[in-house]
Structures are given as C-alpha cells and as structure tokens.
Chains A and B, each alone.
Chain A
Amino acid sequence: MPWLSYQKALNRALGDEMARDPAVFVLGEDVRVAVSNVTAGLLKRFGPDRVLDTPLSEQAFTGFATGAALLGRRPVIEFQIPALLYLAFEQIVNQAHKFSLMTGGQARVPVTYLVPGSGSKTGWAGQHSDHPYALFAHAGVKTVVPATPEDAYGLLVTAIRDDDPVVVFAPAAALGVRVDVDFDALAPVPLGVGRVHRHGEDVTVVAVGHLVHDALAVAEELAGEVSVEVFDPRTAYPFDWDGLAASVARTGRLVVVDDSNRMCGLAAEVLATAAERFDLLAPPVRVTRPDGAVVPFALALDHAVQPDRMQLTAAIQKVLKH
C-alpha cells in the first residue's frame, strides 16, 4: 500500500473536495505557489478563480469568506500562522459563528479555517507557536485537531462539507507523520467522534493532536507494567463525551495530555466533566502547557513549556498509585 503523509492527506482532501463540489475554493497567503505545500497542484487543476492569493489582510479575507459562504460557497482559508487566528477572531467567532442563530436560521456559513503547522514548530518563538484550539472550542466554533494522516483527510473533508464554520488545526509536530494506507479507504470522519488508538485496561489517556503519538509511545514503553488506553477525541468541539465515558468506564483512571495552556484549556474541561460525570478510582491528572505560556525561543526553553513524555509517564504513574 502507498505511504500517505499528513501533509499530503490535507492536500488530497482539498483536491478531492474541490473536484467533487464546485462551490469549494481556497484562499489565503501564497496558496497559489503553495508555500505550505498543502495547496500544491490546486492552481493547475482548478484555476485562479478557485485558488485565491490574498493580500495580507486576514480580517478582510476572513470576513470575505463569510460573505461568499452566505451565498452558498464553501471557502477554505489557509492561515500561515496559528496566531493569525487572533487577528481574525472577530470575523470567525463574532461573525461567522453567530450568523446562523442571529438570523433565526436564515444563514449558513460553511467556512473552513485551516491552520497547517499549529503549535510549536520548534525555533519559531513567541508569535508563531501557539495552539489555540481551546479558544475556539470555548466559543463554540467546531474545532478539529487530527492526529493522523487518515484522520486529517477525513476530518478536513467533513469540515468542508459541514454547514457551520469549522477550524482545523494541523499540528506542526504531526505534519510529518506518514502511514501506509489504501487511498481508496480514505473516508470522511464525523465530527465529535473520538478514536481509541490503543486499547488498555488500567488508565485512559486522552491525547490531543500530535500528542497522540507521544501517548502511544509512552503506552508502548510502559506496556510491561501498565495497560494504557489512548483516546483521541479528534474533535476538540463538539467533544465525544460518550466515547470518553465508555473508555473511562473500563479503566477507571484518567490522564489528559493537551497542548493548551493549563488555565481554561481543553484538559481543564475534560477534568471538569469527568468530575461531574465519571466514577474515577483516582483523581485525574492533566499534562498541559503552563498557565499563559509564551513559547520562548531557545530550543531547551521551547521544549520546557511543551507537554512531554516524561510528564505523561509521571502522570500515568501518579493515577495508578491510588
């Protein structure tokens, strides 16, 4: 079977959806030349009317996408840097997201906001290294953080077809992941449905995005002493609470590893819901970025604020002590 990289999966999803539905188009900075590679080949296949290079006007082109979507188009905006979402926060959260309710259901805004290379790219410092999926989940904007190439494909396809705005975070640390897959087996992945990557009996580790791969590595390392289940929500919002409940019902223990800041991050919500809903044998533990982290430049400092395998191992050991 052929190898599919995460990046190629995004590219393939875009190409497939553009071929399937003439309403789909891509816009963003340097997308014609495909600086991020995600839009490679699309200009040639679909022409300049469906692959729009925009000026560096994030607010305007994000609002522009809303307007086009109101008329039935399905724009996919590529953001070069995760922090550019802050510039367009108004246009996404306060405009696109609110149109359906505020118009009493008259409007649909099917825009996809794609961030290839979210989180730390290592060495890109404070303004290029954020991973703000929890912000959008908090605001109620559908938000996905695929961990694997096949999920990147399936979730991007679903995001494009969804009638609501969807933010797609493609973590920088996952872009290089490759899998051996049958391309014909690639399929849409529904929003809000998690995936158990590894079954286990002693503890459920909820891992988000690229951290799924760290969780799987740790689970393998610890395999002799503890049976770890790795649960990947895939969608930060809507979250698969029932899927997680089923996993925790089997294991009774919960650890969350999440690339959000600790305060009001995704892990915070998982722990809060666990406290309300789940019977746990031990207090849950989360591994996150620190409160209000600004990612510092030097490599050792950058790594120091990222959730890592040692912390995850320690967290698993901690919940097992009870």
Chain B
Amino acid sequence: MAGLTAVRPAPDTDIGLYRTVRLIRRFEERAVELVRSGDIVGGIHPYTGQEAVAAGVCAALRGDDMITSTHRGHGHVLAKGADPARVLAELTGRATGLNRGRGGSMHAADFGLGILGANAIVGANGAITAGAAWAAMQEGRDQVAVSFFGDGAVNQGVLLEAMNLAALWRLPVLFVCENNGYATTLTVADAVAGTITGRGAAFGMPSVAVDGMDPRTVLGVAREAVDRARAGGGPSLVECLTYRFDAHHTWEHKARVRYRDDEEVHSGRQRDPVVIQGARLTAAERELVDAEVESTVDAAVAFALESPHPDPVGALDHLYATGMRARPGGGG
C-alpha cells in the first residue's frame, strides 16, 4: 500500500469507503472538542455513527452530481469532497471557511463541488434539490441530485410535496432518509404513521430500507438508484437505518434531557460503520489510512484556528447578490 497517502483511494473502493467514514468520524470527534474549548460557538449536530450513509451515497456520485444536506451535514459535505480544513474554518467562523464564516455548521456549501448547501429547516432541502435536478435535466446534462434528510423530515409537508413533483416529472433525484430513530428526542414510533418507505411508494417511486451502518450496502443500493435516475428512470427513496452515537446537538452534553438509556446507546453503538468497514482492510491498510486521516484532520484544525476572523465591517456582505447595501441599523 505504498503511496496511499499520495494517491487518494477511489471513494467507492473498500479502502476509499473506509477513509471516508474514518475521516468523518475523526473530524466530528475533533469538532466536538472544539465545541468544548469554545472555538466553535453555537455547537454542532454530530454525525457520529451515521458515517456509512454519507460515505456510501456520495461514493455512488460523480463529481458534478449535486447534494443538499441538513443541520447534521458535516458528513455529507466531507463525503462529497469538501476540503476538511475549509469546513472546519467555517465551523469556527473564519474568513477562510467554505462560506466565509457566514454559514456555520448548519449551512456549509460548496457550489463548485455540487454541494448546494446544508439546510437548517427540516425538510426544506427536498424541493430545492428537485428544482436543481430539473434545471440540470433541462440543460441536457445527466447530473443526479441527492437530498439527505432525517426521519423527522418525513412528516414535513414540503418534503412530501417535493417527492410528488420529483416523481411526477421523473426528476433525477435520490431521496435519502437517514432514520436514526429520533427527531431530537421524539422516536420514529411516536412520530411516523405508516412507514417511511411507504411515503416514497405512495408516489410510485422505488423505495427501499437498507442497513445504514454498512457503507458497502449503502453504496450498492445508492448506485442502483443513482444509475436509474441518471438513465431517466426518475427518483427513488432510500431509507438508511442508522443510529446516532452522540447527542442530537452538543448542548445535550451539558443538559439533563434523558430520552435514551445507557443500555440503548450502548447496544446502538455495537454496530459501528468505522469498525464494519475497517474489518474489510488489513491492519496495515487501516494504519496507513488512519495516519493519513489524522494528519489531514490535524492540518484542518491548525488551518482553522490560524485563520483570520471575518471583519465585522462586512457583516452584511453578500446579503444581496447584486451587491445592494442595506440601511445600517445603528442610530444616527
């Protein structure tokens, strides 16, 4: 495996999938530390435990394919190829961040990589994804657009409306539901009548539930759906059954909310995507990848913390794409 650090493994190989899940895991662990140290304000929604979904789905995509993401979006953005240093710079509110420090954890975007933005409003990204997919189709391009969302989004009207539009107009969209069992503290059992795949089926789109802890499984199912969409076969829904290892949001680390007992969390953590995928590599391969990931994340942390803070004079820069300036709020 000499030269592994110089040549990035293809993301859809076993070693590539491992690198992605490992990178997301270590990135999130370091980000949580930066929340604790106060370098990241506002906290984060850690993606820990769900890495197989982002890694598997994005490995099925081309560079020019598009994704939209959620409040729990770091994994998707990293798996789609965003520079970890610039993502971390965004989380720490630096001028060098992906969004120049204007978006933060819940809004990371990199349009050059087809990352049309993480979105903090549950369910809102589905319709945006459909519109982007339609526009690409109109231009005769064969791009596919993926909308990631949680189980909480499946009861949002706008998402169901968007599924209808996507199915009606046979848009190249992949709806990926990450069912981690909870919307904040509310269980799926207490929130979802019928089933999640039933919602996709109701609009006549292929809808399957898969083991969302295994990157290879996710990749296989995603690839089928992506290929179908690209070939003009319309949208699909993939429900990835997964488990969130950490808090809904880092505020929970200090709060006293209790909605999962230790036993449940312990057993939920038994199937770990990093371990599952790691078992497909030799120990030597793992060590190489781990070392490369570690140095990548170290460099990202250093880059973020050394980067300049944005100048408050420009707080409302980019408010209008046309450059129009708003009246200031201060007196006088």
B-binding residues in A (CB < 8 A): 49, 54-55, 57, 59-73, 75, 90-91, 94-95, 99-110, 140, 142, 162-164, 238
- Judge whether A91 and B109 touch: CB under 8 Å: no
Bound form: Cα–Cα A57–B203 in Å: 14
- Judge whether A60 and B133 touch: CB under 8 Å: no
- Judge whether B98 and A104 touch: CB under 8 Å: yes
Bound form: Cα–Cα A108–B101 in Å: 18
- Judge whether A63 and B162 touch: CB under 8 Å: yes
What chain A residues lie within 8 Å of B317 (beta carbons)? 101, 105
What chain A residues lie within 8 Å of B322 (beta carbons)? 162-164
Q: Which of A65, A102, A105 contacts B107 (CB 8 A)?
A: A102
**Shortest Cβ gap from A150 to chain B (Å):** 23
- Given known contacts A64-B130, A64-B131, A105-B100, what 12 new A-B pairs fall within 8 Å (CB)? A55-B164, A61-B161, A63-B128, A67-B130, A67-B135, A68-B131, A95-B121, A102-B103, A102-B107, A105-B317, A109-B321, A140-B319
Q: Which of A67, A103, A108, A142 contacts B127 (CB 8 A)?
A: A67
- Judge whether A64 and B138 touch: CB under 8 Å: no
- Judge whether A67 and B101 touch: CB under 8 Å: no
Q: Which of B119, B136, B161 contacts A57 (CB 8 A)?
A: B161
Bound form: Cα–Cα A49–B135 in Å: 10
Question: Which residues of B, 249-293, contact A by the 8 Å Cβ criterion?
Answer: none
Residue of B nearest to A107 (CB): B111
What chain A residues lie within 8 Å of B99 (beta carbons)? 102-104, 106
- Judge whether A164 and B129 touch: CB under 8 Å: no
- Judge whether A59 and B127 touch: CB under 8 Å: yes
- Judge whether B117 and A90 touch: CB under 8 Å: no
Residue of B nearest to A60 (CB): B161
Number of interface residues of B (CB under 8 A): 46
- Judge whether A73 and B135 touch: CB under 8 Å: yes
**Shortest Cβ gap from A227 to chain B (Å):** 31
Bound form: Cα–Cα A100–B324 in Å: 12
- Judge whether A66 and B128 touch: CB under 8 Å: yes
Residue of A nearest to B119 (CB): A95
Bound form: Cα–Cα A293–B164 in Å: 36
Bound form: Cα–Cα A105–B319 in Å: 8
**Shortest Cβ gap from B93 to chain A (Å):** 11
Bound form: Cα–Cα A54–B100 in Å: 36
Q: Which of B109, B157, B165 contacts A107 (CB 8 A)?
A: B109
- Judge whether A68 and B134 touch: CB under 8 Å: yes
Contact sample, A vs B, 7 pairs, CB 8 Å cutoff: A66-B127, A102-B102, A102-B109, A102-B117, A104-B101, A104-B102, A105-B321
Q: Which of A64, A66, A140 contacts B165 (CB 8 A)?
A: A64
What chain A residues lie within 8 Å of B127 (beta carbons)? 59-64, 66-67, 91
What chain A residues lie within 8 Å of B302 (beta carbons)? none
- Judge whether A103 and B135 touch: CB under 8 Å: no
What chain B residues lie within 8 Å of A75 (beta carbons)? 131
Q: Which of A54, A91, A164 contacts B321 (CB 8 A)?
A: A164
- Judge whether B131 and A59 touch: CB under 8 Å: no
What chain B residues lie within 8 Å of A62 (beta carbons)? 127
Question: Which residues of B, 92-135, contact A by the 8 Å Cβ criterion?
Answer: 97-103, 107, 109-111, 116-117, 119, 121, 124, 126-135
**Shortest Cβ gap from B137 to chain A (Å):** 10
Does chain A have a CB within 8 A of B316?
yes
